[in-house]
Amino acid sequence: MIDERDRGIARGLTLRYVGASTAILAASGLLGVVLRWSQAVPQARVGDNFWYALMTAHGLGAFVGWAGFAVMGLSWWILAGAGFPVRGFGLAMARVTWWLMVLGVAGVIVTTIFMGFGASWVFLYPLPFYGSGNWGDWATGLFSFSVLLAGLAIVTWCFGILHTVTNREALHSVSSSVAKRLGISFGWGFLMPKTFATNRKPVPYPVIPLAVIGLDMIIATLPLAGLLVWQIFQSMGIVGDANVLLAKNILWWFGHPVVYLLLFPAVAAYYWLIPRYAGRDLVAGHVIAVAWTVAVIANVFVWAHHLYLDYPSGTPQAQINTAMQPITFALVLPSALSLYSLAFTIYRSRFRWTPASTALFLGLVGWLLAGLSGVVNATIALDVAVHNTLWIVGHFHHMAMLNIGLVVFGATYALLPELSGKALYSERLAWIHVWTTFGVGTAFFGLWLVQGLDGAPRRWAVLPSEYDTLTRVSLGFVVLLAAVQALFFWNVLQTLRGKAGIATFDERGIPEPAPPRDWTVPAAEGALVLTALSLAFVFALGGYLVGREYGKGGGATTVTAPATTGGGGTAAGDPAKGKEVFAAAGCGACHTFAAAGASGNVGPSLDGNASLSRDLVVARVTNGVGAMPKFDDRLSGQQIQDVAAYVVQSTTK
């Protein structure tokens, strides 16, 4: 079924995807270092909006551009190994996907770093249209177009996957029906063998999670594409505002399944590689088919657990919560059964411990630990305490880096010799890389969890001073975690250059380690110079980014609001001027306020609030409270008086 031409096609696709995603990892990782450095070192602090722009680029780059793109690419080689060739329409979709993703990521970088778009990597509507003078509608439109390209890349990849996994010959399907072939690819032949019959053997286990995510992400992504098109048209002045709650529901309709765009192909890699290293078939493989049946249904109906605390009073928040919490817990089933199956496949087997298999095993540990912190997020009574804190940041970094990331590293070490025909350059470097990534990452992300439990807010350029100690402690872990990735890049580069010779494999298909090499003096000097140059580049980039911001006038972001002195401005505040300040400062992105036509739901509503007084508003705007940042470094005293006068006057009308 699979000939050498098919293997060559899959090999080329996988190398292109993994190569591009590895470059994106390097760029987004450096941005992550700058973000934490800015929070930890006041003298190196970048401007607030530039920090948010970097956060936007880092989040989308690392999550979708690296982790997502990498496992999407590995999927083609796994399918080829399982006997499913990428041909015709599926191949065309696979090729289009690469271009769409690369162009989309490039557009995100341009609109964030160079155009200042800083509405976060989840770009919650209507925040993209409240740039407070830091970015304009053109930046919003181009950013939305760039994300649309990445979204279309996901859709085309899904079409390519579905076309490949429903290949009748590869499935050994008795029926020619597309619906029945799709059911076989979901693993339903294990549950209903007569209805979803195959001739010789059932569907290979790695195919099942790929088929499930292929269908689910089409359902999840198309509504987001519609929202992004609306944002593009709104930035051009063609359409007006969208309904805020509807937009947020559409975003999270996509936003949670996209997590599984990373996880499910990673599970396919586990199903493919763990049995190889264990030397036996996947344990309890038939049972996991039940779990994936749950996943294919629940995955697209779980979006609203991101909205546990978001609906205003008098809305069906309680009913949403009642439905979403059990559906969220139902999604634990595929993870729990997969972890059970993979763990017992390893248990008492002749497991071959290499850097690749160790990375996969530690990825399973990371999956379990991240899943446990995710249960906290999914439990409403606990989510109230950790919502919008650094706990959330620790949770998804743990999942993305110490589960998906370790799968990517492990699969790269395992499959690169197959893909390139060249032996892995250095197992020693791979061992150091894998264990340091796991150990340092666990410590660093654990500090985020601790800070979150202590109430440290997420998405703040400057954290409140009470969190400074742990923030500074974490900086060393950040730098070490970033630096050790240079070992991965170097190992991959030297492998592709053929420095360790031709790859050889044992009877299971596991790459044999290259003969050990003694370090010569020139080699040691070269490694030292390379390390020094890498560190110099990291510090130079950080210095450039900091200097770029301070060269524009310092690290503090100043809101460009209309002058309020003279022409009617008074010490007590001018409501007319305050209305302009309210709009320019972006207050409507967080607060519902009918007088300003604002419908934000991050902060409390300002309508009908009898407790509001001028002094209270001045105090809140000046010093901030809870999730609200302080504005005394962005607005003048007179501007704060003006906006307070406007809010109080409009509220009491």
Can you give the pTM of this predicted structure? 0.81
Question: Cα–Cα distances in Å, from 191 out to 152, 187, 340, 354?
Answer: 33, 8, 19, 36
Rounded Cα gap, residues 168 and 170, in angstroms: 6
> At a CB cut-off of 8 Å and minimum separation 6, what does 426 contact?
491, 494, 500, 514
CA dist 423 and 513 (Å) reads 7
What secondary structure, in 3-state letters, does 498-556 show?
CCCCECCECCCCCECCCCCCCCCHHHHHHHHHHHHHHHHHHHHHHHHHHHHHHCCCCCC
Q: What is the pLDDT of residue 85?
A: 96
Query: Looking at per-residue confidence, does 26 or 316 come out higher?
Result: 26
The arithmetic mean of pLDDT across residues 293-310, rounded, is 78
Pick the more confident residue, 177 or 561: 177
- Model pLDDT for residues 40-93, shown as the tens digit of each residue: 998 889 999 999 999 999 999 999 999 999 999 999 999 999 999 999 999 999
For residues 79 and 317, which has the higher predicted lDDT (pLDDT)? 79
Mean per-residue pLDDT, 232-243: 95
Structure tokens at 559: 């809101």
pLDDT of residue 545: 54
Quickly name the fold that domain 575-651 has: Cytochrome Bc1 Complex; Chain D, domain 2 (1.10.760)
Contact criterion met (CB below 8 Å) for 130 and 602: no
pLDDT at 648: 86
Q: Among 194, 215, 201, 195, which residue's Cα sits nearest to residue 171?
A: 201
Among 394, 98, 158, 407, smallest CA distance to 299 is for 158
Residue 614 has a pLDDT of 87
Burial label for 19, CB within 10 Å (0-12, 13-18, 19+), is middle
| Tens digit of each residue's pLDDT (9 = 90 or more) over 291-300 | 888 887 777 7
Q: Which amino acid is located at 29 in the chain?
A: G
Residue 491 confidence (pLDDT): 95
> What per-residue confidence (pLDDT) applies to 619?
86
Distance CA 510, CA 356 (A): 10
pLDDT above 70 for 553: no
Task: Answer yes or no: are the C-beta atoms of 623 and 632 closer than 8 Å.
Answer: yes
Give the distance from CA 404 to its chain's centroid.
10
Q: What is the pLDDT of residues 556-607, one digit of tens each?
A: 444 444 444 433 445 578 988 988 888 878 787 788 888 887 776 667 788 8
